[in-house]
Structure 1
Amino acid sequence: MEYGIWSVLPPIIAILLAVRTKQVFISLFAGVFTAELIISGFQPVTALNTSLNGIVGVFAEAWITKTIIFSFLVGAIITLIQASGGVEGFIHYLTIKTKTIKNKRGAMMLAYILGIVIFVESSITILVSGVVARPLTDKYKVSRENLAYICDSTSAPVCALIPLNGWGATLLGIIGVQVTAGVISGNPVEILVKSLPYQFYSMITILSVFFYIWTGKHWGPMKKAENRASKEGKLMRDGAIPLVSTDTTEIKTKEGVSPHMMNMLLPLIVLIFMIPFSLYITGNGNMMAGSGSTSVFWAVLGSLVFSGILYISKKIFTLNEYMNLFYKGVGGMVPVASLLIFAFAIGNSINTLGTGEYLASIVAGKVHGGFGPAIVFIISGIIAFSTGTSWGTFAIMIPIALQMSVAIDANIFAAIGAVVSGAIMGDHCSPISDTTILSSMASASDHIDHVETQLPYALLNALISTLLFLAVGFWG
């Protein structure tokens, strides 16, 4: 059944409510309920029942269950490396022993560099850069909103530009289907590589983050947040609620333990390098064909096992102390995991309504070839903003963009770059996006404050990207 314009209503309600009330749980549920109300033919009791069942039903999909468990387990890792003295030791090494980081710019550059070099998985990138850099950015009075922006804007863009990860595997699979179907011809790997120079939004975003860090020049809501942090010493606005339990942000090094940065670095190294290894295994020898969700799940488990052996063998913790901290860290992630469950639930409901397909159908086959890349970019952004998923946008828009490009004799590489750019842009702007939620969690920022301060920067980058796609469409 086609729901037409009605399919756009649930995400609009969820997003507007989230911005207006700053209560993301209630807003997401309102979006789910509205979607189910439309699907049920406006029968409230039925809609309430299917809404609750839909929230429980997200666990029917293995990758979603792994992602939610992953968020719990990451909370355990964060707590353990803090209590082991790893974070304190790392900060001591950078600020006192080597004096590598001496100021606010250096603290932000640490988060930026970690976001660039860790390109194996967007969630890992966000969490590592946020958790490791946060004590330093707090010390030098960087607003939590700014840290969330840095984490969010160096995760998906980097993973998309260096697709030796689950992002690359997903894009290759979608492109490969179009090659097999005869829509386009060529090698999927070669096609993906040739589309990378057209990921304008990703490149502009990475460069703009560097510009804001290096110059210290901000504008809009972010400028207000930075002025508040530097002049008043308030890392968050009064009344803001950090999207992480205070239990996990205030974990101190265990009494009697000498802080050492290797207590943090070794578990993180295992975590990071387990990703490509797991992609290789799950892809039967081909990293680009591996399972992203399974690889992340294995990596977190591997890191926890390794850290347990490391800390217990060094007599940092007893087994009971290790497990108590493990449970404390898991408990601290309950708000984040709950938000992810609701975000996935509204994503499933919106998928049933066909919101993405409806938005794409509005312009498919109705535009001049020169406008093609720019229109694909804008529609992909709207779909990702409305659904909260970049990968879902890839699945919807790449087939449409390629078929449209062939029909109007447009640049297919630019079309793929436009879809990826638009999907990441919409994801950055959306309060119901999982990566936006994780960025708020990693930086311990108020979620809606993060969305509101990042939005103007994302929209400016989107405007520049649109102009570049127009240039490619008409003169490229």
Structure 2
Amino acid sequence: MEAGAHLGIISILPAAIAIILAFKTRNTVFSLAVACFIGVLMAGQGLLGFPNLLKGALGTTSFSWILLLELFIGILIAFFQRTGAIQGFTRIMDNRKLSRVKIQLVAWVMGMFVFFSDYFSPLFVGSTMRGLSDKAKISREKLAYIADSTSAPVSVMVPITGWAVYISGLLIGMGPIEDANQAISVFTRSVPFNFYAIIAVAFVGLFAIGAIPDFGPMKAAEKRALEEGKVLRDGADPLLGEELTDTPPYEGFSCSVLATFILPVLIVISIAVGTFITMKSAKTMEAFMTAVVVLGIIMRVKGIPFNDIMKTAMAGMKGVLPAIIILALSFSINKLSKDMGTANYIISVTESWLTPNLLPALTFLIASTIAFSTGTSWGTFAIVMPIAAPLAFSFAGGEITSLVLATIAAVAGGGVFGDHCSPLSDTTILASTGAASDHIDHVKTQIPYALMAAGLAAAVYLVIGFTAV
């Protein structure tokens, strides 16, 4: 298709169908799949259009790279569970006497440290700090908030996580971005514009030290815990910590937390950061692969049978299948939108009223709404990024300007806001589970804090929109 060409109103229907179905069914996989199938039929590609779309979108080096990365992340998390690294870390923290404020700060720092997985982070923070926070009379709602607000908001800002790879993968082919290296570079430059994530993470520390006093339902929960000693309200139905994982520690396995947790994490960080500095490209997949191999060798040397290690690895792969499926469909709808000229059509019908001044703020609000309604940020990225980013590049004349970077960050931040506040979200559920909090109580106490951060972020995006061009 020639530059600027499109299929008219038909070109926006796949994305519209995906959004409508996502609101209606709250199932992003189903919504994206149906949107892709109907889209290829509308484009006149027939019944074979759908498998051909999948082959064209997924048979690429970029997708293979991201697929391998997600698989290695899944294996590493499963190895952490099987070696009992979580339980070992809990015992270490139990031996230290920490004040109420310090316990919250430790949980905050821990959430930022476990940046490589938004799934592992809330489980790890909640489960390891729950005993200490109970003794300090910190409400389970507050612990769940800390675990939740330092998971996805942190992961989305670190350029060596699966989130960064996923979002940068969606940017390939947009504007002047031609390959994965350029895409990750643009993503890294957009991080300072991810105001929601920055504010949300900062708020956790400010609330912990009392610089910002608790308010709303959280204030009531904290008052109950302090004055009555009830970390849960009467009648609460907590998601029990015993149900954190399906992979129990191997019986009789004994190894230090240094070897089973800290060493693998340091390997990931050192390789990813080191290659980013020396080679201008973070070898994230290779970093996680090395950590998996090293931890697997440690497990075998310390007595875990080879067959058990392989079964654990397979369990880890199965655990990331939902993310991989969303990833595959997002690549597909991205390619379909590009082939049908979706962005070109939107530009042609909105150029008279959709000004670049409003683009970052509106993008943030739309992404937030979709993510909250569907409970998934990655699905939101897949729906919104193929539309918002090309529009921003069009307004910027094809250059990578602050408007483009702010729009990309608005998609990322909006998706995270909706995702980690939605009661349907995996990370919200995992935070409630890790902290053993009543799930709805966690949602009710967290939303006012998240809305305050979102309001500030939207205001900054408005300012940028009116000053960047």
TM range, normalised to the smaller chain?
0.5 to 0.7
Is it true that 1:286 corresponds to 2:292 in the alignment? no
Alpha-carbon contact 2:194-2:412 (below 8 Å) kept? no
Of 462, 465, 468, the match for 1:470: 462
| Percent of aligned pairs with the same amino acid | 15
Which residue of structure 2 aligns with residue 230 of structure 1?
Answer: 232
Query: Could you tell which deviates more after superposition, 258-267 or 211-220?
Result: 211-220
Displacement, 1:341? 0.8
Structure 2: where are the runs of 5+ without partners? 1-6, 135-139, 178-182, 372-377
Which residue of structure 2 aligns with residue 419 of structure 1?
Answer: 407
Is it true that 1:134 corresponds to 2:121 in the alignment? no
Is it true that 1:377 corresponds to 2:361 in the alignment? yes
Secondary structure of the structure 2 residue equivalent to 1:154 = helix
Is it true that 1:217 corresponds to 2:203 in the alignment? no
Is it true that 1:345 corresponds to 2:347 in the alignment? no
Displacement, 1:352? 0.9
Alpha-carbon contact 2:168-2:184 (below 8 Å) kept? no
Displacement, 1:404? 2.5
Alpha-carbon contact 2:175-2:393 (below 8 Å) kept? no
Displacement, 1:230? 2.5
Which residue of structure 2 aligns with residue 182 of structure 1?
Answer: none
Partner deviation per Cα, 1:328-357 (whole Å, 9 max, x = no partner): 353255254134313531552254135556
Which residue of structure 1 aligns with residue 353 of structure 2?
Answer: 366
Alpha-carbon contact 1:86-1:263 (below 8 Å) kept? yes
Residue identity matched to 2:42:
G
Alpha-carbon contact 1:200-1:465 (below 8 Å) kept? yes
Could you say if the C-alpha distance between residues 7 and 77 of structure 1 is closer, same or farther in structure 2, counting changes exceeding 3 Å?
Answer: closer
Alpha-carbon contact 2:122-2:148 (below 8 Å) kept? yes
Which residue of structure 2 aligns with residue 36 of structure 1?
Answer: 37
Partner deviation per Cα, 1:15-51 (whole Å, 9 max, x = no partner): 22344xxxx4xx52244114422430399x966x755
Of 395, 398, 413, the match for 1:404: 395
Is it true that 1:299 corresponds to 2:287 in the alignment? yes
CA distance in 2, matches of 1:175, 1:271: 29
Which residue of structure 2 aligns with residue 276 of structure 1?
Answer: 273
Of 251, 254, 270, the match for 2:251: 254
Of 453, 456, 460, the match for 1:461: 453
CA distance in 1, matches of 2:167, 2:29: 30
Partner deviation per Cα, 1:285-343 (whole Å, 9 max, x = no partner): 432xx2x5xx2221121012111333444xx22442xx414423532552541343135
CA distance in 1, matches of 2:451, 2:250: 41
CA distance in 1, matches of 2:426, 2:81: 19
Could you say if the C-alpha distance between residues 77 and 212 of structure 1 is closer, same or farther in structure 2, counting changes exceeding 3 Å?
Answer: same
Which residue of structure 2 aligns with residue 308 of structure 1?
Answer: 296
Which residue of structure 1 aligns with residue 72 of structure 2?
Answer: 73
CA distance in 2, matches of 1:222, 1:333: 41
Displacement, 1:269? 1.2
Alpha-carbon contact 1:68-1:341 (below 8 Å) kept? no
Alignment length, in residue pairs? 422
Could you say if the C-alpha distance between residues 247 and 223 of structure 1 is closer, same or farther in structure 2, counting changes exceeding 3 Å?
Answer: farther
Is it true that 1:324 corresponds to 2:326 in the alignment? no
Residue identity matched to 1:130:
P
Which residue of structure 2 aligns with residue 113 of structure 1?
Answer: 109
Displacement, 1:262? 3.8
CA distance in 2, matches of 1:69, 1:192: 20
Query: Could you tell which deviates more after superposition, 359-368 or 2-11?
Result: 359-368
Could you say if the C-alpha distance between residues 247 and 359 of structure 1 is closer, same or farther in structure 2, counting changes exceeding 3 Å?
Answer: farther
Of 376, 379, 394, the match for 1:388: 379
Could you say if the C-alpha distance between residues 210 and 302 of structure 1 is closer, same or farther in structure 2, counting changes exceeding 3 Å?
Answer: same
CA distance in 1, matches of 2:203, 2:320: 28
Residue identity matched to 2:155:
S
Could you say if the C-alpha distance between residues 329 and 455 of structure 1 is closer, same or farther in structure 2, counting changes exceeding 3 Å?
Answer: farther
Alpha-carbon contact 1:373-1:418 (below 8 Å) kept? no
Which residue of structure 2 aligns with residue 206 of structure 1?
Answer: 201
Residue identity matched to 2:392:
A
